[in-house]
Structure 1
Amino acid sequence: MSSSATTSASTSATTAETPDQAPVPIADRARPPAEVRVPSTAHGLTWRPLTVADAGALTTLVTAIEEADAEPFRTSFDEVTEKFDGAWKDHERDTLAGVDGSGALRAWAQVTQPPGDVRVVRTFLEGGVDPAWRGRGIGRELLAWQVDRARQVLAATGKDVPGRIGAFASEQAASAAALLQYAGLAPIRVYSEMRRPLDADLPELPAPGGVRLAPWSDERDDDVRLAHNEAFASHWGSEPQTAEAWRSGRSQFAPGWSLVALDEESDEVVGYLLAGRYEQDWEIAGHSSGYVELLGVRPGWRRRGIAPALLAAAMARVRADGIEYAEIGVDTENLSGALGLYTSLGFTPFHRSTLYTIEL
């Protein structure tokens, strides 16, 4: 299951300022500490940065955490390896591994800052503690390190726009939510995962006049990126994607289920649907599924039925491959009508997660 979700237009935090005064620089608003609070060794763990060589052990640890937290998904080895992709990432400073006396990985953390952010500069926190090592205060210290490091990263961007430190917690992971709130992060947005059985009748929703649907192709991929940046420019929580960031994290990408909508006259991309195939989730869910990662339509082409046509066509492709369900994520406060669209096409919610943030 992807962590990405369709978002909607909304207001975002503004830089701290008063009338007739310049905005407070991000370097001041972020309040970066001179030194981060590295977790103690008193718990029996030593601390070092993560490297790609840790991917196997990290996958094992992440799986144990997901099982303990009753997550409806599993993160694959390929997805874990992708956490180390991206020239903009500084693994030496932005990751942490807690290793016990035998050399086993018992805790981990990562802070990431997407390179394309222009309206709100964001940092995202990921991490966890081996379930057998919980209850010792390791998680609180690990999160304190993450928040400290996130403040340093935000300050270093020099982007004097609103800042955000964010982390997600699933609805059933009460301890994770409590930990985030203890560290000063507050709930700001709820995301719902929805599914639809594909053995039911699928809607017949052809593309509107002047538009044709075509399979995704690598040759059009950067045009899709630019269309996505335009389509999501006013959506809450979304920022432009650089070419490198756009192409990263694609180990579960399903090009055969992905589509583009093209203007028949100019042949330009006016809409798109990118899908993922997360086979490692199927055993947990009890069924196979195709996941809609991104669905968007450029502003000038909206309200013509392009998004429903893309979704109906993608579901038909997924079903033709013998897959049982279609799944999609949505921001429950989406103002674009996405939730209503998915509901009208037979999608129902099955899991929710909350984004917790510190707004700067």
Structure 2
Amino acid sequence: MSTMRIGMIGCGVISQQYLASFEQLPDVQLVAVADLDPARAEAAAAGREGVRVLSVDELIADDEVDTVLNLTIPAAHAGIDLRAIAAGKNVYSEKPFAVTTAEGQEVLAAAQEAGVVVGSAPDTVLGTGTQTARAALEDGTIGAPIAAVATMVTPGHERWHPQPDFYYVPGGGPLLDMGPYYIHALVTLLGPVSEVMGASSRLRTERTIGSGPRQGETIPVTTDTHVTGVLVHESGVLSTLVMSFDAVATTIHPIEIHGTAGTLAVPDPNRFDGDVEVRRLGGDGWETLPVAAGYAEAGRGIGLQDMAVRGSGLRASGELGQHVLEVMNAVLESSTGGARVEVTSSVARPAMVALEGAGVTA
């Protein structure tokens, strides 16, 4: 692609991180914004030369927009994507790719028929943290991988988010909200997943908003808020997943990969950077590995830059987002039914990112 002209739909909290990155992305240009709240769209466009404020319908139909960046709430992801694809636009969606596996499949099928490109967050896995860990695995630093453990615990997003309702309905919860960061990283590092087992719980039926204009308001909880899963990778590696909006803290690394010759500690997959550490068999303590791969100093939106340069070969692809969505929904299905659930989709591991600046794709 040449310079990719972006129309951003959804100007909520996460949009601020994308807006902070656009000027560092040489092949990406923001040209329009839209939000159900016109004031939020006006604020997003303020001070940005050439960025127009449009309605959602106007943005999707606009000839100056060739790619729709979908930052709406999860329940709206598939619907907005399908409308954009029908208008001949490429789409790049925030995580999760959709709410149901069937919705995600519909988006991919529509994109294939229309001949457009589909991308999916998170693009954090393209940063130096996850990519340096990928390089260490490729180099055999810990021998043959055997198992991984991915852990995310927090008391809940209602403590800081002014509009947290969507975190506590189907399509939210710790797995569909935070799980994409961890499972995208696990698939990037260890390959696709073939089957899962899961268990989950919901300890509270309501939450109290802790900040913003609705502080003190109580909202209902209609999805499970603590989820544990075992992911069986096609390679035979077993990954254990713990995602919680109920627990307080943990002292273990966000992701640990255990191999025959050592253990690799992977930094927070919700970040682009961070130290990668290894504890070698027969070694003396943990050692920090030098940065060896990934987009350096990247921020949210680097997936769009990768998409602009690589086109349909983008790393943060809709196919990867859909595979991760199916894995997550399979974990939830298993937690309800109590049996292993097969994951029917597969996906190739994205190409590793050589150590480059944000504007260069290897």
Q: Does the alignment reach a TM-score above 0.5?
A: no
Quick check: which has more Rg, 1 or 2?
1
TM-score normalised by the chain length of structure 1: 0.28
TM-score normalised by the chain length of structure 2: 0.28
Higher relative contact order (CA 8 A, sep 6+): 1
